A = this chain, B = another copy of it.
């Protein structure tokens, strides 16, 4: 019987992809407000190409953009961009039915955990900004477990919980890091149709559009 519910964060509990695009847009507009004499579309195209080349976790996107634009004293533009970017990233909000669904699951006796890829403090920061950190008994972050979100990661989760795979259900938006590896170790899986992989085929046990659909799924199990 399912007792442990594991949730991915990005694009599962909040629209991460959308917020990232908005943060970039706000950052570029802040540079223009600070006096940068360029139009949005060409500098946005440059920024996207920098992100594609250097990866989204590279910390020098705006520095590179300024040097491509030949800006001699980039301090004010970088500061304006980073401030606007951070302001957007710190104003993230969960998908609207996430908080009441989490509360209902706790009331029903389920034990809630996070299973997420990335840096421990960054992922905790998201839970805190989303105001949902206290709903979770624990957080499994790939960096702390020293395993990317593949089968070995989910095995470590099972042993940390001292749980059988059949007692666990993994909820996430990605087939490669959420559904396939959790399924490979025997967990039940729920695929949320959001984010960049929304149109990919899935082998998940259940497919939902909204997180609240978990409640009837668990009731019917």
Chain A residues with a Cβ under 8 A of chain B: 30, 34-35, 73, 75-76, 78-80, 82-83, 86-87, 90, 120-125, 127-129, 133-134, 139, 141, 144
* Residue pair A75, B141 in contact (C-beta under 8 Å): yes
| B34/A76 in contact, CB under 8 A | no
The complex places the Cα of A76 from the Cα of B135 at a distance, in Å, of 13
With known contacts A86-B90, A87-B90, A90-B86, A75–B120 Cβ distance under 8 A? yes
The 10 closest A-B pairs by CB, nearest first: A79-B124, A75-B120, A79-B125, A75-B124, A76-B124, A79-B121, A83-B128, A80-B128, A78-B121, A75-B121
The interface residues of chain B lying within 8 Å CB-to-CB of A121 are: 75, 78-79, 82
Residues from chain B with Cβ under 8 Å of A90 in the complex: 83, 86-87
- Complex Cα spacing A56 to B189, Å: 47
8 Å CB contact of A73 from B78, B128, B144: B144
List, in ascending order, chain B residues with CB within 8 A of A78's CB. Answer: 121, 124
CA distance A30 to B133 in the complex (A): 12
Q: Which residues of B contact A79 (CB under 8 A)?
A: 120-122, 124-125, 127-128
Closest to A77 in B: B124
